[in-house]
Structure 1
Amino acid sequence: MNCEVHSDLVCVLFCQNCQQPVYTKCLHVLENKHKEHRLSSISDVYDEKFCEMEDFRYRVGQNIPFCSQIQHELEHMLDSGTKQYGEQRQILIQKEDDVITEFQSNIMVLLKEVDSEWKTLEGTLKEEIKVMKILKDHMEKEREIACQVSYKPSKTSHDDMKGIFGDFLWQIAGQTCKLKKSYQTHLKGIQKVLLLDNNEALIWSENNEDVIKVQFDNTIDIKVLKAIPNTRAYDMGKIQNGDIIISVQESQLKMYREKDTIENFHSFYPLKTFGIHVNKYNEILVGISTGLPDKEEEIPKPGKIVVLNCKGSVKRTYENIKNKHSKECCVCPTRIVTNQDNIIYFINIFRKNKQGTHDGIIVSIDHNGKRMWTYGEDKFQFCPEDIAIMNSAGCICVLTNAYTDILSKDGIYIARLQTKIKDSLESNTKISTLAFDKNMNLYAGEKTIQKDKRQSAQIHIFEIM
């Protein structure tokens, strides 16, 4: 290495402080620059630097494989991450497609359900509008006929009176329903028809110890699906899970489960259970009383209507229901129904008459138990046997021992179905129970009138015309 001052001379020393080579003769020339500096042989410095470089190269050589390994691992992680990212992204895209497909499918299902429900409701409403129009026309006809009746009491004989009003009554006895089909059963009398889904029903008789599950078919006779043996029933109601609540005129309310088991559901001891109804909120309404009057003019103790939940716990009780004359209106609730507004209608039996039948009235109360109206208090020997809701407008069909009346939801008489129903029955039978399906078809069960002429009872289906 040549000297910086004497470019033709070779340096043999190295200043450690200045970190530069120095020629020996320059020490005198540059004395002040390198004075008291540490000087070393340039060959020694070279050897030292060479060793340091070799050591560095060795260490670098040792670290290269490590760096290569780390690089490889990082590249592997990158490849793996890229692959995983792609897979997860594809999964998310697929899930998005699946969610969209499922959502669209669910939307289609919901749309079909909405369409189906609306078509059913639309058909029901149209049918009810048709029925209401027929009933209105029928009442218009009755009013027109009534307006034609005129007479002068002082100049009209008793026979003339009979002719006038006999013709009037004959004209207004319009036929408002027609028979669609009759189904023969093996029961001696139909106590009650509880309509279920799929044209199925539960039927039972006070003379039989079995409850029968049947299906009505348009092409063949009635089909027996199942018998619940050794089950005496007075009334029944179906809760939403399919279980059946059974009243047997005893203190213990029964439950028949889908697994064909019957168990105790709720005890009202010492009172007895009568009417049963399950409303749209899945609440169970139970009419309870000390019992039906079994002696003429006997006035039993007041009864009540108890509301249970589907687990058998009491939610509320309706009692001390009085008419406008402060007379008890809830002695023995034998049949209970509710309309779409959850207004309660029930048959109240309060007395046994001289003919051996039971006098009663129809009572309407609101959700709070307040009496809204009564029907039949001003009628002689009014003996209601069954009650049914006809339609969503709340019209009520009341069956008595003599006729069948249609009332408005406010308890106003609309029409009578007696004539056509009786024309469809054998002379020894009478209607004993009523039920309406969603299509406004009337299901009427019958029983024999004369006990010495027992015959198998029928269930008739009528169409409101």
Structure 2
Amino acid sequence: MAQEAKVDTEFTIPSVCQICDTSSNIKWMCFECDLFFCLQCESKFHTKSKTLAAHSKIDIEKCGTKNIAEVIRKECGQTICTNCVMTNSHKDHTLNSIEEAYDGKVQEMKKFQKRIQSEIPLYQKTEDNLKGVLAEAFKQYSYIKEHITWKEKEIIKETKHYAKKLLDTAETEWKTIEQKINQEVTVVNNITENFEKEREIRGHTLPVSKLLTKTFPTIDNTYSPEEEVHQIKLLQHYFTFQSFKIKDIFGYLSKGPGFKLVKTYETSLRGFTKILPLNNNQAIISCWEDEVLQKVNFGKKNMTVETNYPKIKVYDIAVMKNGDILLSKQEGELKLLCEKGAIESFHSFSPFKTFGIHVNNENDIVVGLASSSDGGDGKIVVLDSNGIVKRTFENDKDKDKLKLISCPLRIVTNVDNSICFIEKSNNGFSNSGAIVAIDEEGKLKWASTRLGSSFHPADLSIILSSGLIVVTSYSYRCNLHVLNQKGKSIFEISVAELFNNQALFGFGPLSTAIDSEGMMFLADYSTDNYRERAKIATFKN
């Protein structure tokens, strides 16, 4: 049924219908068609077309041209007068007064302005970050261009020098051979000439008396070439063409962060479960096997232990803005390590157990919970700094829906406030897993389930300047994966390549972290009997 439209301006009604150009009994005005027409044309044409029937029209006779709109239709936002309220097209609709609708729109506008005000700094910060990334990208491009040009000149220079050296050696050898052989050829020619003369003389018949007294050369007096000349061919060099790939000599471009090894620190521990960088070259480290929790300093030469906390098994660590440290022990309570060293209960999640924990930029605490380390039901809870629950993200109760959360092992938040976590159905070290990202409402953004069956994510961290996610995984060899904000793998490198294939690590780094300056930490996990001390390595991007 056609809908009656609001009248907010005066208009002039034509003398005849604008459809049939005959009837002077004008009944309707259609806003979409911008036509005035009679009752007959409305029934014959306007209501028979599905498209035209949906247009908004007004009854000229009932509404007139100067009635004041006093109410508004909630469904479509049309303002109507009191004469039109009880028409068939409006009597079943929800109506509000103009004042109420106006107040509601004012409040809506204020909320919109408030949201804009709160988001402007975020976009300004994003713009600054993008400009920073652009500057870094140009710096990196300039560095690459300079070094490629330098490498090109060096290779050309070295190639010319080496080629000249080979050519000089070959030419010297050739001159020596040519000289010796020519000397021998001269000797042979002289002997040949002498033999020819002797043959000519012998061709004449000698008297018997001279023939009896003639002395002929013996074999010992005949010519024999120098032994060196015979062997000279065997001793001559020949050129072997060496096939090669130019990238193996020149180098090549690699995608992803250019992590360069800065320092390797040896420790007295068997391995590390978690490393969390602090300010001033400090970090909190934990070793589950040794039940060790320490605050350490990274010096230019060695790593020193500043604080040894009470013997405790810690799975994950996060630090709040006031310096208090949160500890996940895979138990029902989230623990708080105060600055004085006391360990207190911060929040109870029983019967669930705590796994991954993280403190975001707003000082909210994101906690991954699971009913069991072997899988089952899991959820992610967001607390404020006082331990009060702000949000909870759980699996959809619909059995047909995908189960996103079973055991969130590690958690980080990205620059867009999305929550990224390692999701594994079993906490055993031999099981594959995925990186899952959900938005602020708990809806799935992406899940990196396509990295292969050998993808065993152990830890993850965020490169703050770019939002890239760095993941350590272990299988037959340990790798670093770099994912973009859509979960796509854009870079992968083995830890062996980071260390130039030196055997510096044991089973592999299970913990990774990147501090605010972009320094990456890899903490070793080693329980073998051949090397008792695990290591921590630092890399600069």
TM range (shorter): 0.5 to 0.7
Deviation at 1:454, TM superposition (A): 4.7
Structure 1 residues 250 and 176: alpha-carbon distance in aligned structure 2, compared to 1, 3 A threshold: same
For structure 2, the 5+ residue unaligned runs are 1-124, 149-244
Moved more, 325-334 or 122-131: 122-131
**Partners of 1:264 and 1:242 in 2: how far apart?**
16
Give the AA of the match of 2:421. Answer: F
Structure 1 residues 123 and 442: alpha-carbon distance in aligned structure 2, compared to 1, 3 A threshold: farther
Paired residue for 2:384, among 305, 309, 317?
309
> Does the CA-based 8 Å contact 2:133-2:466 persist in structure 1?
no
> Does the CA-based 8 Å contact 2:133-2:465 persist in structure 1?
no
Q: SS where residue 432 of structure 2 aligns?
A: strand
Residue 224 of structure 1 pairs with residue 305 of structure 2: yes
In structure 1, the partner of 2:91 is none
In structure 2, the partner of 1:395 is 468
In structure 1, the partner of 2:277 is 195
C-alpha distance after superposition, 1:34-86 (max 9, x if no partner): xxxxxxxxxxxxxxxxxxxxxxxxxxxxxxxxxxxxxxxxxxxxxxxxxxxxx
**Partners of 2:137 and 2:275 in 1: how far apart?**
25
Paired residue for 1:405, among 481, 488, 491?
481
Aligned length: 304
Paired residue for 1:382, among 446, 455, 459?
455
> Does the CA-based 8 Å contact 1:127-1:439 persist in structure 2?
no
Structure 1 residues 191 and 352: alpha-carbon distance in aligned structure 2, compared to 1, 3 A threshold: closer
Q: Name the Cα RMSD after superposition.
A: 3.3
Deviation at 1:412, TM superposition (A): 1.5
In structure 2, the partner of 1:258 is 339
Paired residue for 1:208, among 278, 287, 290?
290
Residue 436 of structure 1 pairs with residue 520 of structure 2: no
Residue 336 of structure 1 pairs with residue 417 of structure 2: no
Give the AA of the match of 1:227. Answer: N
Deviation at 1:424, TM superposition (A): 4.8
Paired residue for 1:249, among 330, 333, 347?
330
Paired residue for 1:282, among 355, 363, 383?
363
Deviation at 1:233, TM superposition (A): 0.5
C-alpha distance after superposition, 1:304-358 (max 9, x if no partner): 01111111111110111699x83312110000001222111100011478xx612
C-alpha distance after superposition, 1:351-409 (max 9, x if no partner): 478xx612210001111111100002462142110000012321000111131111111
For structure 1, the 5+ residue unaligned runs are 1-117, 142-163, 294-299
Deviation at 1:417, TM superposition (A): 2.8
> Does the CA-based 8 Å contact 1:177-1:420 persist in structure 2?
no
**Partners of 1:397 and 1:349 in 2: how far apart?**
17
User: Any residues of structure 2 matched to 1:118-157 within 5 Å, and which?
Assistant: 125=132, 129-130=136-137
C-alpha distance after superposition, 1:203-253 (max 9, x if no partner): 1111122211011122x3112111112221000110111101100001111
In structure 1, the partner of 2:539 is 462
**Partners of 1:405 and 1:378 in 2: how far apart?**
9
Structure 1 residues 182 and 125: alpha-carbon distance in aligned structure 2, compared to 1, 3 A threshold: farther
**Deviating 4+ runs (over 4 angstroms):** 121-124, 130-134, 170-175
**Partners of 2:450 and 2:513 in 1: how far apart?**
24
Give the AA of the match of 1:387. Answer: L
Deviation at 1:183, TM superposition (A): 1.2
Q: SS where residue 425 of structure 2 aligns?
A: strand
> Does the CA-based 8 Å contact 1:343-1:365 persist in structure 2?
yes
Paired residue for 1:414, among 485, 490, 512?
490
Deviation at 1:129, TM superposition (A): 2.7
Structure 1 residues 197 and 123: alpha-carbon distance in aligned structure 2, compared to 1, 3 A threshold: farther
Residue 445 of structure 1 pairs with residue 523 of structure 2: yes
Give the AA of the match of 2:287. Answer: S
In structure 2, the partner of 1:41 is none
Q: SS where residue 490 of structure 2 aligns?
A: strand
> Does the CA-based 8 Å contact 1:322-1:371 persist in structure 2?
no
**Partners of 1:282 and 1:322 in 2: how far apart?**
30
TM-score by length of 2: 0.51
TM-score by length of 1: 0.59
Higher relative contact order (CA 8 A, sep 6+): 1
Q: SS where residue 358 of structure 1 aligns?
A: coil
User: Any residues of structure 2 matched to 1:72-221 within 5 Å, and which?
Assistant: 125=132, 129-130=136-137, 176-218=258-300, 220-221=301-302
Deviation at 1:179, TM superposition (A): 1.0
Q: Which has the larger radius of gyration?
A: 1
Give the AA of the match of 1:406. Answer: V
> Does the CA-based 8 Å contact 2:410-2:422 persist in structure 1?
yes
**Partners of 1:209 and 1:305 in 2: how far apart?**
26
> Does the CA-based 8 Å contact 1:191-1:204 persist in structure 2?
yes
